[in-house]
Amino acid sequence: MPDIWFPYLGIEISHLNKTAFSIFGFDIAWYGIIIAIGVVAGLLLARHLAKKSGQDPELYLDFLIYALIFAIIGARLYYVTFSWDQYKNDWTEIFNLRNGGLAIYGGVIGAVLTAIIYCKIKRYSLLELMDTAMPGLILGQAIGRWGNFFNQEAFGGYTDNIFAMRLNVETAAYTTTELMKHTVTVGGVRYIQVHPTFLYESLWCLLILVIMLIIFKHRKFKGQVAFTYLIGYGLGRMFIETLRTDQLLLWNTNIPASVVFSAFLVLLGVILMIVFGVRYRIEKQKIAMAADKYAPEIQEESELFDDLLNEDSLSTEEAEAPSEATNEAAASDTASENAAASKMAAADTKEEELKDEDLWD
């Protein structure tokens, strides 16, 4: 009988080894390989978006080197903080990453803090960097969740829906009392039947990625893509986290920490989207008013200039040899028209640059 089974989808996996291969007796886990693939895919996407938007792609490779280090530290600290009972009697276990224990939200926090410091040192737009890097981040998350599949972990409670996943009790990373009440025995093998929450989150991340890429192409202001990540990923994770059986809980409560943090991200994203959206519309309205102000001047000067060219009262001799006064008047009118046109052009340029203006004060 298979180790993993999706009975309603007709998918069976007879044996799934957590170890991909060994080098000199050192096991290389599929989890690590998949995470590495996610990181590389995210970097390639960020570099692609940077190139398309006129940025230096090398900037994102440089940033990734620092972000990876502090993301791993953040992911570990987040996990240890909400699982302190596991480590309080043996602090050395905090540094034993091979036994697992990384939380994605801690990684995101570590990466964002790195971005803030990095942009401060490089004097680069934080929102520009986040808009470009976060599509790569969510792509990496979509891929990385499949590492949980290979580890047979991070699954949800019992379900009998079309996506129900059966895990061999002997190979599953863990079980719960509630899950054991709903075991299914087939061919002498006992299975727990669970929500494949890794799959839910992976598909949700891909959906949010598509939305973020569309917004990146048509964004009105810096930060619009990053705020979409906060809202979109937060909403999905807030729901998916309620299904999981391995939740990290707030101290002395039954409240999942990631649900609270997800709600915070959604609220923060909505507030920032509204604030920056309103500021963008106000600035655009100012530009439109400026354009309307200069338009009559241009029209008036243009009509005056046409009248001078088409004036019938000038004699042939005068037309061929205009007086010094007429020349001065024409030159003055032309200068006025050019000045008004310049003002109008400046307004148009300002409107074009508005989407690139960093409104983060």
Residue-wise DSSP of 103-156: -HHHHHHHHHHHHHHHHHHHT--HHHHHHHHHHHHHHHHHHHTHHHHHHT-S-B
Mean pLDDT of 78-98: 81
Is the separation of the CB atoms in 15 and 1 below 8 Å?
no
Q: CB burial class (10 A; 0-12, 13-18, 19+) of residue 90?
A: exposed
Query: What is the pLDDT, as a whole number, of residue 290?
Result: 75
- pLDDT tens sequence across 37-71: 999 999 999 999 999 999 999 999 999 999 999 99
pTM for this structure? Answer: 0.81
Which residue, among 42, 4, 252, 243, has the nearest Cα to 140 in the 3D structure?
42
- For residue 261, what pLDDT band results from cuts at 50, 70 and 90? very high
